[in-house]
């Protein structure tokens, strides 16, 4: 007789318990535990697919240098921006999870990528959320010409696995993992057990048949990838597709990547005919006029330098305690810089409101932006403009000293490419001011007050 057992699973961390808790004993999340019924015999029944994936055939150990060197032949996605984030292209047999808010453009990105890859490779696009004709409608909207891209509109895991085995494509796309359903498990699609089991089964087929799998994952309202952390551990790369719903640019980031660097950034723009690559994104984040309170920095996203405007507005306060509002920068950083400016440049900022924003809705969390933030604040306070053709780089210490930051040559090269003429950098960068390949004029400062004197 088939016995069905009940377990309680935290939908946040995936912890299993034998009884119900209001708060997960493992991760501390409230109201995240739900009851799920699993039938163990049903699990095993799935055509003898073992739950352990076999990556290598032999079970003997060998020395690291004697392992046969197999060069990875990466599959190009057809988009330079996507390839860079992947680390140079898709690795056969790898699993890539792409997360993002609803409506951000995940399906559009993957349909476009699938069509491009289908020019040279066999691709199967599995749509579990839309019908095949809906996908075709979108595909027409993207102005695509004839293609031999295969489409399968299916949610049943068993049928999907069968089609993957039969068609044996080089690349497969699953849109989305939360919509898949394993009939041997009684819990609803999207629940942690379903997601975990579906992902594990897909991983086995992917490794066995050497299929590169691109999997779409939903994001919860807290911005986390829905489903258990185990999903993130299972896959080879996790990317997030993000952007402002009100702005047209979209950012693709690698959060985890076994085959490339993390924090790489790809920039796209959503247009009426789909996503278009933005090869020179710095232009997107720079304003054209020269006004007080605006400073330009060069941030580094992975290996990619990005010139970005920082805007500050300083106003006399009408409140008992002044307002400090930041967008795109941590508020602790702002408070720290305000304190340094108050102490070392004698600005009476405690009687002023301070609003700070990064242009284009970007997030900047690196210390290299400190000097730019400080200069934008002083510029707004004194109502003096920072020359438009100047970039500012450097971390500010609590003692008011200017510290060097990483990748200065790369950042200066980007600034030069964009037409900047001057740069203010910390004096400890080790850059030779006279003998370098740059045409930028470099000014060095060892403290924040020295730097402000140079800039304003
Ligand atoms: P979609 O890829 O369906 O988002 P997701 O799969 O992440 O939920 O993108 C939907 C949005 O993109 C929708 O609001 C319309 C917009 N869009 C365009 O602006 N241009 C286009 O060519 C396409 C196909 C979609
Ligand atoms: Mg979608």
85-126, pLDDT tens digit by residue? Answer: 999 999 999 999 999 888 899 999 999 999 999 999 999 999
d(CA 263, CA 303): 8
Strand partners, 171: 123, 212
**pLDDT (0 to 100) of residue 215:** 95
Q: Give the total residue count for the chain.
A: 456
Query: 11 Cβ partners below 8 Å, 6+ apart?
Result: 32, 33, 34, 191, 192, 228
Q: How confident is the model at residue 388 (pLDDT cuts 50, 70, 90)?
A: confident
CA–centroid distance, residue 96 to ligand 2 (Å): 16
Token readout for 229 is 């952390």
Does residue 131 have a pLDDT over 80? yes
First vs last C-alpha separation in the chain? 83
Question: Count of CB atoms within 10 A of residue 77's CB?
Answer: 25
Does residue 52 have a pLDDT over 50? no
d(CA 194, CA 197): 5
Does residue 341 have a pLDDT over 60? yes
Does residue 50 have a pLDDT over 50? no
CA–centroid distance, residue 275 to ligand 2 (Å): 14
Residue nearest to atom 15 of ligand 1 (CA): 103
**pLDDT (0 to 100) of residue 228:** 56
Highest mean pLDDT among 12-16, 227-231, 323-327 belongs to: 323-327
Residue nearest to atom 9 of ligand 1 (CA): 105
Residue nearest to atom 21 of ligand 1 (CA): 274
Mean pLDDT within 420-448? 88
Question: Is 102 annotated as ligand-binding?
Answer: yes
Question: Is 54 annotated as ligand-binding?
Answer: no
Ligand nearest to the CA of 219: 1
d(CA 236, CA 189): 23
CA–centroid distance, residue 128 to ligand 2 (Å): 9
Residue nearest to atom 23 of ligand 1 (CA): 274
Prediction ipTM score? 0.97
Ligand nearest to the CA of 109: 1
Mean pLDDT within 2-22? 79
Question: Is 100 annotated as ligand-binding?
Answer: yes
More confident residue, 132 or 191: 132
Does residue 41 have a pLDDT over 50? no
Q: How confident is the model at residue 229 (pLDDT cuts 50, 70, 90)?
A: low
**pLDDT (0 to 100) of residue 42:** 46
Does residue 43 have a pLDDT over 50? no
Q: Backbone dihedral region of 419: left (phi > 0), alpha (psi from -120 to 50 degrees) or beta?
A: left
At 444 the three-state DSSP class reads: strand
Residue nearest to atom 16 of ligand 1 (CA): 105
**pLDDT (0 to 100) of residue 51:** 47
CA–centroid distance, residue 216 to ligand 1 (Å): 14
Token readout for 399 is 């003692």
CA–centroid distance, residue 274 to ligand 1 (Å): 7
**pLDDT (0 to 100) of residue 431:** 82
Alpha helices (H) in 129-185, listed in sequence order: 132-141, 157-167
Mutate to test the pocket of ligand 1, among 101, 103, 142 (most ligand atoms within 8 A of CB): 103
More confident residue, 395 or 432: 395
Does residue 201 have a pLDDT over 80? yes
Does residue 218 have a pLDDT over 90? no
Does residue 303 have a pLDDT over 80? no
Does residue 350 have a pLDDT over 70? yes
More confident residue, 101 or 155: 155
Q: What is the mean pLDDT of the chain?
A: 87
Question: Is 328 annotated as ligand-binding?
Answer: no
Query: 163 Cβ partners below 8 Å, 6+ apart?
Result: 124, 126, 152, 154
The fraction of the chain above a pLDDT of 90, given in percent, is 54
**pLDDT (0 to 100) of residue 203:** 94
Model pTM above 0.90: no
d(CA 267, CA 357): 20
Atom of ligand 1 nearest to the CA of 104: 7
Question: Is 93 annotated as ligand-binding?
Answer: no
Ligand 1 pocket residues where CB is under 6 Å: 100, 102-108, 138, 141-142, 270, 272-274
Does residue 245 have a pLDDT over 90? no
Question: Is 208 annotated as ligand-binding?
Answer: no
CA–centroid distance, residue 403 to ligand 2 (Å): 45
Question: Is 103 annotated as ligand-binding?
Answer: yes
**pLDDT (0 to 100) of residue 13:** 78
């Amino acid at each position: 007789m088939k016995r069905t057992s009940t377990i309680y699973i935290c939908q946040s961390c995936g912890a299993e318990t034998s009884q119900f808790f209001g708060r997960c004993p493992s991760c501390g999340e409230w109201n995240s535990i739900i009851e799920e019924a699993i039938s163990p015999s049903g699990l095993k029944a799935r055509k003898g697919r073992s739950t352990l994936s076999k990556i290598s055939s032999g079970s003997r150990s060998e020395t690291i240098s004697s392992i046969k060197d197999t060069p990875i032949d990466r599959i190009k996605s057809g988009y330079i921006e996507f390839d860079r984030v992947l680390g140079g292209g898709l690795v056969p047999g790898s699993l890539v999870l792409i997360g993002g808010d609803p409506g951000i453009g995940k399906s559009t990105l993957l349909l476009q990528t699938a069509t491009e890859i289908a020019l040279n490779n066999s691709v199967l696009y599995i749509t579990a959320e839309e019908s095949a004709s809906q996908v075709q409608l979108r595909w027409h909207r993207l102005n695509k010409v004839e293609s031999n891209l295969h489409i399968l509109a299916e949610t049943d895991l068993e049928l999907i696995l069968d089609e993957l085995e039969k068609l044996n494509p080089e690349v497969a796309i699953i849109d989305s993992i939360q919509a898949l359903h394993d009939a041997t498990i009684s819990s609803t699609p999207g629940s942690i057990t379903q997601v975990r089991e579906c992902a594990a089964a897909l991983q086995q087929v992917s490794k066995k048949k050497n299929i590169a799998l691109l999997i779409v994952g939903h994001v919860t309202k807290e911005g986390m990838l829905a489903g258990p952390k185990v999903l993130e551990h299972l896959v080879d790369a996790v990317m997030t597709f993000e952007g402002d719903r009100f702005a047209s640019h979209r950012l693709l980031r690698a959060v985890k990547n076994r085959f490339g660097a993390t924090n790489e950034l790809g920039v796209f723009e959503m247009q009426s005919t789909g996503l278009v690559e933005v090869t020179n994104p710095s232009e997107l984040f720079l304003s054209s006029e020269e006004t007080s309170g605006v400073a330009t920095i060069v941030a580094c996203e992975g290996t990619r330098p990005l010139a970005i405007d920082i805007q500050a507005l300083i106003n006399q306060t009408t409140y008992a305690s002044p307002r400090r509002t930041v967008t795109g920068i941590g508020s602790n950083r702002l408070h720290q810089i305000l304190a340094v400016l108050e102490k070392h440049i004698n600005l009476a900022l405690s009687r002023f409101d301070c609003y700070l924003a990064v242009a284009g809705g970007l997030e900047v969390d690196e210390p290299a932006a400190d000097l730019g933030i400080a200069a934008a604040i002083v510029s707004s306070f004194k109502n003096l403009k920072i020359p438009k053709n100047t970039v500012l780089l450097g971390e500010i210490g609590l003692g008011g000293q200017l510290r060097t930051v990483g990748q200065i040559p790369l950042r200066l090269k980007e600034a030069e490419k964009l037409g900047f003429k001057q740069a203010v950098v910390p004096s400890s960068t080790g850059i030779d001011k006279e003998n370098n390949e740059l045409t930028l004029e470099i000014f060095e400062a060892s403290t924040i007050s020295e730097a402000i004197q140079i800039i304003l």
